[in-house]
């Protein structure tokens, strides 16, 4: 384990595509979604136990979720939990963590990971991350992980790479965000594209230099915090700093604009668990192809995911290819093929219903 390795876990999202299970007050990263006895954020942090010291784990989350983070990760000290006053996408999130880490450790190498992904082969994940960290320790490069696609999925971003050498780390040629189905099919057929896993590895100085070059206004904001990070003045500074930050992703703001971006090909049983369909695909199924989590009786139901409170008996008859989800006074029944409409449901609920339902 290298004492200069740091893990930055992004845990501020609401996960609205996983509504009604994932809600504003209790997003999916704080749930035991898979029924393993550990929440998604607990599983995520546990993957880094052999990669970096526990004191080098940084959680970036919304200020409203600090209590949940402390409750589920009680070993963390307050300075390891970065509280964002408002959501500003991933670029400010990573800038905050990187400028803070760099102030303490000029040799820091950072891996950034979302808090709500599934990794089935954790040892292979560990091997990949260690190899990537060793690469960023030796060269000023930005690495993103690319997953071998198994289908032409329109819900993922795609990375095209240049396959000049038989190496696992390859130069990135293009990024494409969530293509139409026809284009996704062409990507798969070409063999030159991988899914963008949203997991990044870089040296702290390298990412700060990239922010300075491509997002100079953001660099100015977080540079002003020099000397305030790791002190009792940090929170007040961040509360003011975030109001000056634009809403921009690290992919668009940095990765797509930099010429030192590489993709590391990996295959460790990854899913971003972003939708009900992805949960269905990653959960064990009964003889009728159903995923059931709750006290449920089914009759002639097939290819359906049912996730309901265990203290309520639910009877389902005749459904095929559906999502049946209940949590905290909200019941949703929706065809699996129409799961992208969940965002519309949430939008309509916000506009017409009590805010407790979102």
What does the pLDDT read at residue 231?
94
> What pLDDT sits at residue 274?
80
Average pLDDT, rounded, for the chain: 92
Name residue, tokens 């284009």.
Answer: 183
Q: How confident is the model at residue 43 (pLDDT cuts 50, 70, 90)?
A: very high
Residue by residue, DSSP assigns 133-193 as HHHHHHS--EEEEEEPPSS--TTS-EEEEE--SS-SEEEEEEEE-S--HHHHHHHHHHT-E
Task: Read off the tokens for 153.
Answer: 């999925």
Of residues 76, 95, 114, 356, the one with CA closest to residue 211 = 95
The mean pLDDT of 46-62, rounded to a whole number, is 96
> pLDDT tens digits for 98-155?
999 999 999 999 999 999 999 989 999 999 999 999 999 999 999 999 998 888 877 7
> What SS3 state is found at 280?
helix
pLDDT of residue 186: 86
Q: How far is CA 264 from the centre of its chain?
A: 17
The span from the CA of 348 to the CA of 156, in Å, is: 25
Q: Which of 15, 62, 97, 90 is nearest to 252 (CA)?
A: 90
In this structure, is the dihedral angle defined by the CA atoms of residues 86, 32, 68 and 352, taken in order, positive or negative? Answer: positive
- Would you kindly state where each structural domain of the chain is located, as residue ranges? 5-271, 279-357
Query: For residue range 226-242, what is the model confidence (pLDDT) as tens digits?
Result: 999 999 999 999 999 99
Task: Indicate whether 1 pLDDT > 90.
Answer: no
Predicted pLDDT at 263: 93
- pLDDT for the residue 217: 95
What does the alpha-carbon distance between residue 213 and residue 254 come to, in Å, rounded to a whole number?
9
Average pLDDT for 1-26: 90
Provide the pLDDT for residue 308: 93
b (16+ CB within 10 A) / e for 44-83 = bbebbeebbeeebbbbbbbbebbebbeebbeebeeebbbb
Looking at per-residue pLDDT, the higher value among 275 and 76 belongs to 76
pLDDT of residue 63: 94
pLDDT(212) > 80? yes
Cα–Cα dist 27/346, whole Å: 14
Confidence of residue 281 (pLDDT cuts 50, 70, 90): confident
CATH superfamily of 5-271: Spore Coat Polysaccharide Biosynthesis Protein SpsA; Chain A (3.90.550.10)
**What is the percent of the chain where pLDDT is above 90?**
71
- How many other CB atoms sit within 10 Å of the CB of residue 235? 15
Select from 13, 29, 11, 15 the least CA-distant residue to 342: 15
Enter the pTM of the model.
0.90
Model confidence band, residue 188 (pLDDT cutoffs 50, 70, 90): confident
């Amino acid at each position: 384990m290298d004492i200069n390795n740091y893990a930055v876990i992004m845990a501020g999202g609401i996960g609205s595509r996983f509504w009604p299970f994932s809600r504003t007050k209790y997003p999916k990263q704080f749930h035991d979604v898979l029924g393993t006895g550990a929440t998604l954020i607990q599983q995520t942090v546990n993957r880094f136990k052999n990669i970096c010291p526990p004191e080098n784990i940084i959680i970036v989350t919304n200020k409203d979720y600090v209590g949940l983070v402390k409750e589920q990760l009680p070993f963390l000290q307050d300075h390891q939990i970065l509280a964002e006053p408002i959501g500003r996408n991933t670029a400010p999130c990573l800038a905050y963590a990187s400028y803070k880490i760099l102030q303490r450790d000029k040799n820091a190498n950072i891996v950034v990971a979302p808090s709500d992904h599934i990794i089935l082969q954790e040892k292979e994940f560990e091997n990949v991350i260690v190899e990537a960290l060793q690469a960023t320790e030796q060269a000023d490069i930005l690495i993103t992980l690319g997953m071998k696609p198994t289908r032409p999925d329109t819900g993922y971003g795609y990375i095209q790479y240049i396959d000049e050498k038989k190496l696992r780390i390859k130069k990135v040629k293009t990024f494409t965000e969530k293509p139409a189905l026809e284009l996704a099919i062409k990507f798969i057929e070409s063999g030159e594209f991988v899914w963008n896993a949203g997991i990044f590895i870089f040296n702290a100085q390298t990412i700060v230099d990239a922010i300075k070059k491509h997002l100079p206004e953001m660099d100015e904001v977080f540079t002003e915090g020099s000397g305030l990070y790791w002190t009792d003045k940090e929170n007040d500074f961040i509360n003011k700093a975030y109001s000056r930050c634009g809403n921009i992703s690290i992919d668009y703001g940095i990765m797509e604009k930099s010429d030192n971006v590489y993709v590391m090909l990996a295959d460790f049983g990854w899913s971003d668990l972003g939708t009900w369909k992805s949960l269905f695909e990653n959960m064990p199924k009964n003889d009728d192809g159903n995923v059931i989590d709750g006290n449920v009786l089914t009759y002639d139901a097939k290819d359906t995911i049912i996730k309901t409170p265990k203290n309520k008996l639910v009877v389902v008859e005749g459904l095929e290819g559906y999502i049946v989800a209940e949590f905290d006074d909200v019941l949703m029944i929706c065809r699996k093929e129409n799961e992208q409409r969940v965002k519309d449901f949430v939008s309509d609920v916000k506009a017409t219903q009590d805010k407790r339902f979102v």
